[in-house]
Structure 1
């Protein structure tokens, strides 16, 4: 199976698993951690261009699980996360990983945050090593083994 097909299949599987848990994923910690992981994945290479920012914002708005939350609120939170990374990438990354770690208390939410990161990273068909790296770091922040997610 080609790498492209495996990435698409993995992202699709993660989205299916997320959809099955949708009703359990309504906390503020999950919402905030999800927006943080989206920003981290979008800026995994150290920068985020306007087109990528728009693409990730569209993915957030269309994600069935994230529809548990107000779209305008999610957009504002995502933009705030991106702004932290834009202002000072290293400090912003530390801050956002701390935000991700807040979902650690509920294992289902912690796993869902990682799955959101994988879905966002694989949405363009290229879940590259930098994106995989930030999702691995998020796994560590949440106390989850990256191998559980093939990372």
Structure 2
């Protein structure tokens, strides 16, 4: 099986796992960490063009698991994190990773945050090395082993 086919299968499996846990993923920490990882993945290469911003916003508002939360609130939180990263990527990344780390108290939520990062990263058909690297950093912030997610 080609690498891309394996990745698509893995992303699909992760989305299915997320859906199975949807009713358990309603905390503010999960919401905030999810929007932080979405912003981090969107800005993984250090820049965000308007089309990428729109694409990730659309993915956030259409993701069934995130429909536990108000779409406008999610978009506002995503944009706030993204603005930090665009203003100063290195400093913004520290702040965003701290936001992500808030989900580590509940292992199921922490894993779901990483899975959302992977699903968002691969949604354009290319989970590139920069996106993989920031999701790996999120794993460390959440005290999760990156190899658990093939990172």
Unaligned residue ranges in structure 1 (runs of 5+): none
Query: Deviations 1:33-84 (Å, cap 9, x if unpaired)?
Result: 0000000001100111100000000000000000000000000000111100
Correspondence for 1:138:
138
Correspondence for 1:7:
7
Distance 1:130 1:54 in 2: 19
Match of 1:19, SS? helix
TM-score (norm 1): 0.98
Match of 1:36, SS? helix
Runs (4+) of structure 1 moved beyond 3 Å? none
Q: How does 1:21-36 map to 2 (within 5 A)?
A: 21-36=21-36
Query: Deviations 1:67-112 (Å, cap 9, x if unpaired)?
Result: 0000000000001111001111110000000000000000000000
Match of 2:147, SS? helix
Distance 2:86 2:103 in 1: 24
Deviation at 1:4, TM superposition (A): 2.1
Aligned residues: 151
1:43 aligns with 2:39: no
TM-score (norm 2): 0.98
Correspondence for 1:69:
69
Q: Which has the higher contact order (CA 8 A, sep 6+)?
A: 1
Unaligned residue ranges in structure 2 (runs of 5+): none
The Cα RMSD (Å) is 0.6
Deviation at 1:9, TM superposition (A): 1.1
